[in-house]
Amino acid sequence: MSDPSAAEKPARKNTTTAEETAPVKTTASKAAAKKATAARKPALPEKAAPKPPTTTRPRKPESRTALVRRARRINRELAEVYPYAHPELDFENPFQLIVATVLSAQTTDLRVNQTTPALFARYPTPEDLASANPEEVEEILRPCGFFRAKTKSVIGLSKALVENHEGEVPGRLEDLVKLPGVGRKTAFVVLGNAFGRPGITVDTHFQRLVRRWRWTEETEPDKIEAAVGALFPKSEWTMLSHHVIFHGRRICHARKPACGACPIAPICPAFGEGETDPEKARKLLKYEKGGFPGQRLKPPQAYLDAGGVPAPPLGAAG
């Protein structure tokens, strides 16, 4: 017997729709599709990394007149900051000064000042040092470094003073530079500070700062001396040297200048080479502005009045 309801039901077709047959996209296949699409697109150029900001002032062309004015203004500013600037070698006469200056090569004025009291106590005159036992002098000068070469220089210098200048330090440049161990730098230190005759002392601090300030691009000391000397009246040369050297030792250091504590920052073309944050810069200050002793064991009274502290003698604690 047949089921009457079977005739009423339509025959089911054995077919499927396109939607039913299409594969289902998984998360992995979607990611692969995106990668394929991205690969077909042209690559965009990468943005260049931003340059770090700099506080160093850009170099601008400067006329000769502008250079002279700027250099002299810097010197005036430094004169106000260091009115007590002075040679930082202890000496009581020209002989002590010339010997101390010869000994200061490749060491600090402080180390020389700590060493020369014993030397001058034992050999107070050129005659005494000229006839000294080299081994005994070497032992005294050992803390200065290069003590054998320096012993030879100061004994030879003393002999030349005795034999050629009656035991007196000459007051002329042409005579001074002929003495053993004496070059133009030493000669100008002696002329300016023992005889009151103007001279420019081109030491390492002076060379570094005048090039930083773009007073000159020369690298040889005699050429630096000539270039800088032409910017100033001759009468200012000696004190100019003291101002620049004082500033180089105290604020405008070789490796990390204290730019943020520098009194000439507004007019310095090298501002930004060192620490510009005022608080951090103050921690870099040396000598009287940082609470440390200066170079001399017996500094001028003006230095002490300004808050300077005498250096400790050789072997002192701390």
Extract the residue ranges of the chain whose pLDDT is less than 70: 1-59, 317-318
> Which tens digits make up the pLDDT trace of 75-126?
999 999 999 999 999 999 999 999 999 999 999 999 999 999 999 999 999 9
Active-site amino acid positions: 185, 203
- Give DSSP secondary structure letters for the chain: ---HHHHHSPPPP----HHHHSPPPPHHHHHHHHHHHHHHSPPPPPPPPPPPP--SPPP----HHHHHHHHHHHHHHHHHH-TT----S--SSHHHHHHHHHHTTTS-HHHHHHHHHHHHHH--SHHHHHTS-HHHHHHHHGGGSSHHHHHHHHHHHHHHHHHHHTT----SHHHHTTSTT--HHHHHHHHHHHS--------HHHHHHHHHTTS----SHHHHHHHHHTTS-GGGHHHHHHHHHHHHHHTS-SSS--GGG-TTGGG-TTTTSS---HHHHHTT--GGGTT---S-SS--HHHHHTT--PPPPTT---
Determine the Cα–Cα distance for residues 248 and 38; give it in Å rounded to an integer.
Answer: 60
**pTM score over 0.85:** no
For residue 138, which of 146, 147, 129 has the smallest C-alpha distance? 147
Q: State whether residue 168 is helix, strand or coil.
A: coil
Residue whose structure tokens are 């000669």: 187
> Which tens digits make up the pLDDT trace of 126-157?
999 999 999 999 999 999 999 999 999 999 99
For residue 113, which of 312, 249, 308 has the smallest C-alpha distance? 312
pLDDT of the residue at 247:
98
